[in-house]
Structure 1
Amino acid sequence: MSDQGVRSGSQGGRDSQGSQGSNGRAVDRRVTGGLTAALLLLPGLVAAASPQLQLTGLSDTRLVTNVGLSVPRIGFSCQASTAHIRRYLEAAREAAEEALQAYGHFNATIRPSIQAREECRDPALDIDAGPATTVESVRIELPEAIQTIESVNEFVAERRPSTGAPLDQAAYDALRDGILGRVQKAGYLDARYTRRELVVDPATQSARIALTLEAGPRYRFGEVTIEQSILEPELARRLTGVPEGAPYTSRDLLAMNQNLTGTAYFESVAVRPKLDERENREVPVEITTYRNPRTSYELRAGYATDVGPRVGAKVTRRYVNKRGHQWSARTELSAIEQRLDTSYTIPRATDPLRERFDIYARVTREDNNDILTTAAATGVQWVRETDPWTRSLFTEYLLDRTRYGDDPAESNGFAIVGGRLGYQGLDDPLFPTEGVVVDVSLQGAAEPVASAASFVRGRAFAGGYLPVGDWILAARGEAGVIVTDEFDKMPRSLRFFTGGDRSVRGYEYESLSPRDEDGTRTGGKYLLAGSLEAMVPVVGDDWYVAAFVDTGNAYTDPEAELKTGAGVGVRWRSPVGILRVDLAQPLDGTDGLPMLHLGLGAAF
C-alpha cells in the first residue's frame, strides 16, 4: 500500500510520511523496482555490447541491494543519444534517492555521470549516502480493550523501534500494518488509525513515529452454515468447537476447520467468513465439507522380538447414523497373542468434539512363558479429550481363564471399575524428539460385587524427550502396585511382568517376574522400571545411533533386586514409523549373552 499525505496534525487514518523541510511539508517516499534490476549489478552476466549501470560509493550491502532493485531497467542500446541516457539517469537518481530514504538516509548526495567503455557508454551513479536518520520518539496509543490482546502486546514489544535506533521505513510499515492486522484478527474488523505518522526532519537527522488506533466494535460469530448431509445440523454445528455468539477471531476460524477435519466424518473442510455481509456486529460463516467414505479398512504388519511377526486388520464405520455414532472392529495376531475387539462410540450431544461414550467387547488369547490365558471382557467407558489431556472412567466385566505351567486352569470373573488420566505432549508420535507423555490408571473390584476377589491396582508411566544440540535424550519410568489379599485369584492380564523390547532390554519378553515352586513365572504385585537413552544422528535426520541403560523388575517381595541391561542400537525414521535395532547385555552377574531386540512399525 502506498500512503501519501501532507503533515498537518492528524490525517484521519492516512500516513504522513517522508522528509520535513523548512515549510513543514512532509513528502512521502517509497521503494519501487523489480528483480530484473539486480542484473544491472552483475556485469559478468550482461553482454559486453549492452549498457550497464555503474554504482559507486556505497559500502552497505543493504543499500546497494535496495538501490539495485529500485532503479529502472535499462531499455536502450549503446547507440542511445546523450539526452536519452541523461533522462534515464534522472529517473535512476530519483529511484536511488527513495531507496536510500527507506533506510533513513535523507541527505544523500547522488552524482550522475556517463562513463565511456570501449564502444559503449554506461550510466553511472556515485552515491554518498550521508548519515542515517535515527528514531527520536515512538508514540503508540491503543484503546484499553486492545491492550488486553496478548498477540498485539507481544508484537508491539518485539517490533517497537528503539529510541536512537536507525530509521527503517520497512520496519515502520510492518509495525503499523502488523498492529492493525492483529487487532482485526481479534474481531475488531472496523479498526482504523486516526493518526499514523512517520515524520522525518532532515536537518536534525531525526524521525518521529506516532500511531493512534480506534478499535471500533468487536464482532461476533453470526449464523454458521455447514453444507453437509451425514449429521444432524446441530451436531455438526457443535463439532466446530466454537459456540454461537462467540467473539470473532481468525484463530477460531482456523479452529473450526481443524476441529471438523479432525473428526472421522469429513475428508476436507473449507471455512469462509462472509465479511462483506457482516451486520449488527455479527459475521456469518459458510463451511463447505467433503465427507469421508462411510467405511474404511486397514491392514497392518510389523515385527518385534517380543512377539515376532504380527499382523492386524481393522474395519471402521465412520458414521452409523445422523447422530454421529461410530463402530469399529479389529483383530491382531502374533505367535504369542491373538486379539479381537469391537467398540461402538456415541458422541456426547452437548460436547461431541471432546466427550464420548464407548461400548466395547474384547477376546484375547496369550500363550507365553508357559502361561496360557484366555480372557473376555465387555464394558462401557466415558472419555473426555481436551488436548493434550485424556480422562476416562470405565466399568467392565472380565472373565479370565489362566493355566500356569502344569497346574489346572482356573476361571475367575471380576466386575471392575476404574479410571485413567493421560497426557500426550510429544512433537511426533512416530518419532518423538521433544515432549512428555504421562499415563496414570487406577482400577479395582470388590468380592461382594460379582468378583472372585477384591483388589485395587494402580499404575503410573512417564516418559520424556529432550533435544540437546544434535543429541536427543530420552527417559522413562514406570511403577505399579496391586493391593489384594487373594493374589492367586488375580487375572493374568492385571499382574505385572517386565523385560523385553519396550521395558528392560537384555531380557526376554515378560521374563522378569516372580516364579512359583515349579519355576513358572506368575507375575508380580509390584512393578518398577526405568530407562535412560541418548541418540545422535549419523546420516541426515533419518539415521541415529543410540546408547541406553534399562533397569526394572516385577516382584512380590519388596526387597527383590532390580535387573539391569545396557547396550547400543540403531534407529531409522522409516515412512511407516521407527525401525529399532538394539543389542543389549544383561548386567545381573550371570554369563548371559547379549540379546538382539528388533522393532518395526508403530505399536498396536
Structure 2
Amino acid sequence: MSKRSARAIRAALVWWGFAVAAPAAADLTIRGVDDDTETVLEAFVTIDELPCDAPRWWVERRHRQAPGEIRRGMETLGYYRSEQSGELSWEDDCWQASYRVTPGDPVRIQGFDLVVEGALADEARLQSVLSSLDIGPEEHFSHGAYENAKGDLLESAQSLGYFDASFTRHKVTVDPERNVADVELTLEGGERYRIGEVRLEQSALREGLFRRFLRFDTGEPYDARVLTRTYQDLIESDYFDRVLVAPELDERTEGEVPVQVTAVAQTRRSALVGAGYATDTGPRARFDLRYRRVNDRGHRASFSSLVSEVNGEVGAEYRIPYGDPTHEWLFVKGDIIYEDTDTARSLERGVTVGRTHRRGEAWAETNYVEYTVEDFDVGDQEGTSQLMLIGTSWARSTSIDVARPTSGYSLGLDVRGAARSLLSDNDLLQAIVRARQIVPLGERFRLLGRVQAGWTWQDEFENLPPSVRFFAGGDNSVRGYGYEQLGPEEDGEVVGGKRLVTGSLEIDALIRPNWSVAAFVDTGSAYNSSPDFSTGVGLGLRWYSPLGPLRFDIAHPLDDPGRSVRFHISLGPDL
C-alpha cells in the first residue's frame, strides 16, 4: 500500500469515529503540480526512499537535496524556471516532508532543424510520422517528447527496412534566461534493405499452399507491415497454433535481410458439446465436430447438429482453399432442418455448392447454388416445395475480436432467385439487407443499432415454404413478441409475408468489467403490401462470457395490451 493510501485510510477511520492506533509512516507530499507531474518528481526525490526510522541526519541531508532534485525533474519536463520550497517535520519519531513547486513558464522551442538524409526522406510513411511529432517550432519542449520523437523516427525507418538508420546529429541547447530551446537532428537513413531468403519451418501444409499465405517475396523492399499481415493471416487461418514471422537482422548483408517464418500446427480436430437455453427455442443441445486439416492440401470438413423443442438441424460441409487461402474457398454442404413453431411446421433437406472470395479489400462475396426440398404446413397451407436457388451474398464488417466492442459495423446483402425452368416449382426473386452499427458514447456507454429488410417477388406465394417467407418477433427481431409470431395472418394464424422491415436501437452502460445494463426499443413488420409495425421496449442485463455476450432481456409489447412483459435470453456477438 502506498503512503498516500495509508494516509487516506487513517483519515477515513477518524472521520467515521473508528480511529485505530495505526503505526506512524513516513510521508512525502508534493504540491503545486498535477498528478502526472507529481509522479515524475517522486521518482527524482530520494528522501522518499528512506524508512520511517532512518537516522535524523540522513533524513535532513536528503531533505536539503530535495529542492535540487525537484528542479532537475522539472527540467526534464521542460520547466527551467521552477521554484521549490519545502518543510520537514517529525510525527511520532517519523519524518513528514512537504514540498511546494511553482512551475513557471515552460521552455518553448525556438529553433527546430530536422534533416532526413538519403532515400528515407522520400518515404511517405516517414513524412506522416514527421507531421505527427510532438515537438516543433513554438511547441512546449520536454526531454521526454524529444526522446520519444527520436524513437518514433527510428522505429518508422526500421519498419521500412532502413536498418542502418541512425542520428548523426542530435543536439538540444536550452537557454534558461530566455526560456527557449534549439533542437538539431539529422537522421541518416542509409540503404533500404530488400527481403532475402525466406526460410519456412512448418509441416502442416504443402509448401505451395503455405507460401500463398505470405504477403512478401524475395527481392521486394522490406516492409514490416506485410510481415505483420502475414502473421495475422496465418494465425487467423486456424491451421496454426503459434506463428513467428521475423527478419534475421544479424544476418543481413549486401542489402538483403533473411526472413524466418515458423508455424506450429493446430490439432487436426476439435469438438464442441454444449447445452443452453433461449426463449426462441427453449432448451437446446449442440454437437459440432471440425476437421481443421483433412490433408496437407488444407481441405476442411465439419459436422454440426442442433436440437431444440422448436427447431433443429444436422449438417455437414467440405471446404477446399483455392487462390488466396485466407478468403477464397470452394465448398459443398448438405443439411436437414426442421422447425415446429406456433406458426409453421417444416422439414427441409438441402445441398449447396459455392465459392467464397474477396471482392476488393473489404467485401466477402459468396456465390452459390442451393437445391432444397421442403415439406411444410403454414396455417391452412401445406405442401412440398422444390427450389433450385441461385444466389450471391456480400458481407463486410470491422474485425474486432473482443466480447464488448465499443465501435464497429457489419453489412450484409443476399440476393437469390429460382425459376420453374431450373428444377423449381415456383418463380422467385428475393433480396435481404442487414446492417448493424455500434457507436461509442463516452467511456462506459455505447449505442447499438440494427436494421433488416427483405423483399420477395414471386409467382405463387401460397406455394412458398416457410424458409423463404418473412416473419418477425423474437430474441433477434422484435423483443416483447414471441418467435415468428408477427406477420400476415389467415384465419387467425400467422402465415408469413413477402416483405420485412425490422429495426432496433439500444443503449448500454458498463457497470462492472464483464457486466452492463441496457435499455432498448425494437420495431418491425412482416407484411405483403403495407407494413403494420409492432413495437417493444424493455431493459436488459448483459454478461460478457467467454463464449460471447449473454443477454437477459425483459420487454413489453406496446401493441399487445393483453400481455405485460416477455422475457428473452439470447447468446451471440453484437456484430
**If the TM-score is normalised by the length of the shorter chain, which range does it land in?**
0.7 to 0.9
SS at match of 2:489: coil
Q: CA deviation at 1:262?
A: 1.2
Question: Superposed, which structure 2 residues align to 1:6-405 within 5 Å?
Answer: 62=37, 66=41, 69=44, 101-103=75-77, 133-143=107-117, 146=120, 149=123, 152-201=126-175, 204-348=178-322, 350-369=323-342, 371-385=344-358, 389-405=363-379
Letter paired with 1:323:
R
Give the 5 Å matches for 1:540-555: 540-555=512-527
Relative to structure 1, the CA distance from residue 78 to residue 594 in structure 2 (aligned partners, 3 Å threshold; closer, same or farther) is closer
- Distance (whole Å) between structure 2 residues aligned to residue 128 and residue 206 of structure 1: 18
Alpha carbons of 1:353 and 1:129: their partners in 2 closer, same or farther (altered >3 Å)?
Answer: closer
Bigger CA drift: 466-475 or 159-168?
A: 159-168
Q: Give the SS at the match of 1:159.
A: coil
Per the alignment, residue 524 of structure 1 pairs with 497
**Unmatched tracts of structure 1, length 5 or more:** 1-43, 48-53, 120-124
2:544 equivalent in structure 1: 573
Among residues 416, 423, 432, which one is paired with 1:443 in the alignment? 416
TM-score by length of 2: 0.82
Q: 1:158 to 1:447 in 2, by over 3 A?
A: same
Q: Is the 8 A contact 2:44 2:70 kept in 1?
A: no
2:426 maps to which of 450, 453, 476:
453
Q: Secondary structure at the match of 1:183?
A: helix
Cα RMSD over matched residues? 4.2
Shift of 1:430: 4.4
- Name the CA shift for 1:178/1:371 in 2 (closer, same or farther; >3 Å): closer
Q: In structure 1, what is the equivalent of residue 16 of structure 2?
A: none
- Counterpart of 2:295, as a letter, is N
What is the distance in 1 between the residues matched to 2:26 and 2:542?
Answer: 51
Q: Identity of counterpart residues, as a percentage?
A: 31
How far off is 1:513 after superposition? 2.0
Letter in 1 for 2:538: G
User: 1:240-287 CA distances to partner (integer Å, 9 max, x unpaired)?
Assistant: 344554432333332222221111211111233201111232221112
2:551–2:571 contact (8 Å) kept in structure 1: no
Partner of 1:122: none
Change (3 A) 1:285 1:467: same
Paired AA for residue 434 in structure 1: S
1:450 CA drift (Å): 1.3
Structure with bigger gyration radius: 1
> Cα distance 1:428–1:238, how it changes in 2: closer, same or farther (>3 A)?
closer
Structure 1 position 95, deviation (Å): 7.5
Q: What are structure 2's unaligned runs of at least 5 residues?
A: 1-23, 94-98
Contact 1:191 1:213 in 2 (8 A): yes
Q: Which residue of 1 aligns with 2:452?
A: 478
Instruction: Report how far residue 78 of structure 1 moved.
Output: 6.0
Cα gap change, 1:600 to 1:93, in 2 (>3 Å): closer
Change in 2 beyond 3 A, CA 1:369/1:241: farther
Which secondary structure does the structure 2 equivalent of 1:510 belong to? coil
| Separation in structure 2 between the aligned mates of residue 547 and residue 131 of structure 1, nearest angstrom | 49
Q: How far has the Cα of 1:132 moved from its partner?
A: 6.2
Q: CA deviation at 1:165?
A: 4.5
Tell me which residue corresponds to 2:11. Answer: none
Contact 2:345–2:378 (CA<8 Å) still a contact in 1?
yes
Letter in 1 for 2:146: Y
TM-score computed with the length of structure 1 as normaliser: 0.78
Aligned residues: 545
Contact 2:161 / 2:222 at 8 angstroms: preserved in 1?
A: yes
Paired position in structure 2 for 1:598: 568
* Contact 1:478/1:529 (<8 A) preserved: yes
Q: Deviations over 1:2-44 (max 9, x none)?
A: xxxxxxxxxxxxxxxxxxxxxxxxxxxxxxxxxxxxxxxxxx7
Q: Cα deviations across residues 556-600 of structure 1 (Å, max 9, x unaligned)?
A: 2x1342222223333333343333232323233x54212423224
> Which residue of structure 1 aligns with residue 3 of structure 2?
none
Shift of 1:308: 0.7
Shift of 1:169: 2.2
Structure 1 pair 367–126 and aligned structure 2 pair: CA distance change class (3 A): closer
The answer to whether the Cα contact below 8 Å between 1:513 and 1:523 also exists between their aligned partners in 2 is: yes
Q: C-alpha separation between the residues in 2 aligned to 1:427 and 1:331?
A: 27
Change (3 A) 1:193 1:334: same
Q: 1:411 to 1:536 in 2, by over 3 A?
A: same
